[in-house]
Structures are given as structure tokens and as C-alpha cells.
Structure 1
Amino acid sequence: MVFIRDTELVLRAAVELVNTLPHTEVSGVDTLTRRADLEAFVTAHGYTGSRTRDEDELARVRGIRSRLLELWRVDRDGAVPLVNAMLADGRTLPQLVRHDGMDWHIHASDPDEPLAMRILVETALAFVDVIRADEYARVRVCDADDCEGVYVDFSKNGSKRYCDAGNCGNRMNVIAYRRRKAETTA
């Protein structure tokens, strides 16, 4: 295990949220445009606390995606001021909590804060663990030629090269296979 369970869960949620941006997915389509999209995301990732479920909440969550994406565009040292700013913006107040079948873990914002701020702070806190563990090399952008999707490499040996947003690994393997096949038949 590279990271503790709650850190990994938050990192996976951040990856999914960032990959809803239109420029990160192979299809080039923004996949977080409706309140139902946000509801599915929140449900899938178990975010707790207050919710308004309105257009403003959707807009705020959509608004933090670019800020989170910046964490994939910098190195470990460059991430520190970004993470610190996110924590400061959220007036971070780390507390141990237990809920929904999860054992003790840290929430760093008030449950009444807006959803976007809670997501931002929880992600920043997860990146604190990445930075402290000196595992920032696992924070990556997809190696596929036509994708800028992001991911965190949770593999044991740190060898993952492609995101999960657009079936990139399979696509690139097929392209490489066809290229090799064409070279041998030419």
C-alpha cells in the first residue's frame, strides 16, 4: 500500500474530478455539466456534509477543477505553495472523524462549508501525504499521445503509464501492435 486508504480514496476522487475537464479526456467533452453529474460524483466518492444541490454548487465544483489540475503540472516542491494555499483558503481545521463504515480518518473542513471548498481541502490534505511520503513522482499525466488525462500511480512498482479516462493503455498498445505489424509486413 502506497498511501493510507482515505488518502487513496481522495486522490482517486481528485483524479476523476480533474479528468472531467474537456481537455483531459480523449473525447474532448466536459463530463461535469449537469447537477446529476455532480450528484453521481459525490455519491461515488462518499463526500459528506451540507449540500445545496443547485447550479451554484455545480459551478463552484467545476471552478476548482483547474486549480486541482495545477497539482499535476508541478513537481513536489512546486506543489507545496499550491497545497498550502488550498488549506489556507479552506481555513483548515483537521479533525478525526468516523462515518459511513470508514474508520478514523481526517476531515479538514467544517461539514457546513460549501462542497467545492471541502473537496479542495480534502484533496490538499491528501496531497500533503503524497508530499510527505516523497511519492510525488506518482502524480502523473497520461503518456498517451492524444490524452492529457491525469492519474496517481497506485501500482506497487510505480510503473503505470496511462490514465483510465479514455482506455489509453489499450489504445496505445493497439497502435504499437499495428505499427510493429506494418513494419514486419512491409
Structure 2
Amino acid sequence: MPFSHDMVYSLATVVELINTGADERDGLAGVEDLEAFVRQRQVSGVGRVTDHDLAEVRALRRDFHEVFTAPDSRAAIALLNTLLGRTRITPSLTEHDGFPVHVHYFAPGASVAEHLAADCGVALAHVIVEDEWERLRTCAAPDCSHVFVDESRNRSRVYCDSRTCGNRMHVAAYRARRRPAS
């Protein structure tokens, strides 16, 4: 995909955010989980995280999931415009934490949810503008609801992770083929 490092990083962040809600155990069960997410994804400019922040980020997670699972690009555009319309987007060039110069889209003093909505929302907007909406996918494994961005050259990726879901599904298909006919 022809996206810069910061766009790819923001897309990975939105995927990881959505997937915190895809398993039995909510990956954002408490403030500590949100703090760990912020640290792990190196979300800059975030101060103290509160229960209110946690509730906002969980709601944002649902909104982003709706964008990924929209039936078509028009629906994704409408959802994304609504989401972006709720943020105070203030583009600024920045250089920090060893990253090259890149653009932050969140306003100074923004909450963690608004920060994620702006940066990740703009990254998703670029995917749509580049006519790459179909790269936003849900895992094809029947027991998995993780999302991912298909970065393969030929847009053929169907599993969130080839080492887990992909391997499991390929082994199941192989075993089914090897079973004697009854």
C-alpha cells in the first residue's frame, strides 16, 4: 500500500484497538488496560487516563468496527465522516520518540479518544480516498471476529493472522480432504 509510515502505524493502531473487543476477555476491561494500550501503541500526548476516557475509547472502538464492517464504501464514508465530525482536528508536523517527521491530527489537550479518533480516522480516510476500502477486512475464520488491513500486493489475505487462524483453517481443510469418504 502506498501509505507513509505514520499512516501504516495509525492503521495498525485502529486494528489493535478494534481487536481489543473481539475476544471473550475485553482487552479494555479497565483503566489499566487502556493505559497499557496507550503505552504499547506509543500514543503521544496522553496524560492521565480516567474511567471516562475508557468509556469514550470503548465507544470509539465500536464506531471504528462499524467502519470496517460497513457493507460498502459509501456507508463507510458516512460513518467515518460522522466520527471525524466529532473531533477537533488540528494538523501539526511533529518529530518525537525516534519517529521521522510526521503529521498529528489531534488538537492540543485532546482526550485519548479524540486523539485516536483523529489520527486513526484520518488514516482510514486515506484508505478510502485511495480507493482501497476493500483492504479493511474481517477474518474469514468462522470462530474469529478480528479485523485487519490487507496489505498484500494482490489483496488476497483472508485471515487476521496466517500463523493462527490461517494455519488452523488450512490444517482443518487438509484433514477434511484426507478423511475417508463414508
**Same-fold status (TM-score > 0.5):** yes
Corresponding residue for 1:84?
A: 81
Counterpart residue identity of residue 31, structure 1: G
The RMSD of aligned alpha carbons is: 1.9
Q: Report the alpha carbon displacement of residue 166 of structure 1 after superposing the two structures with TM.
A: 9.2
What is the number of equivalent residue pairs in this alignment? 181
Match among 34, 47, 50 for residue 51 of structure 1: 47
The alignment partner of 2:89 has SS state of coil
Distance 1:53 1:164 in 2: 30
Corresponding residue for 1:62?
A: 58
5+ long unaligned stretches in structure 2: none
CA contact (8 A) 1:20 1:31 kept: yes
Corresponding residue for 2:12?
A: 12
TM-score of the two chains, using structure 1 as the length reference: 0.88
Corresponding residue for 2:115?
A: 118
The alignment partner of 1:106 has SS state of strand
Counterpart residue identity of residue 86, structure 2: D
Higher relative contact order (CA 8 A, sep 6+): 1
Change (3 A) 1:165 1:32: farther
TM-score of the two chains, using structure 2 as the length reference: 0.90
Corresponding residue for 1:3?
A: 3
Match among 150, 156, 161 for residue 158 of structure 2: 161
Corresponding residue for 1:71?
A: 67
Q: Percent identity?
A: 38
CA contact (8 A) 2:73 2:133 kept: yes
Distance 1:114 1:32 in 2: 16
| Large movers: runs of 4+ above 4 Å | none
Match among 104, 108, 123 for residue 107 of structure 1: 104
Distance 1:2 1:153 in 2: 13
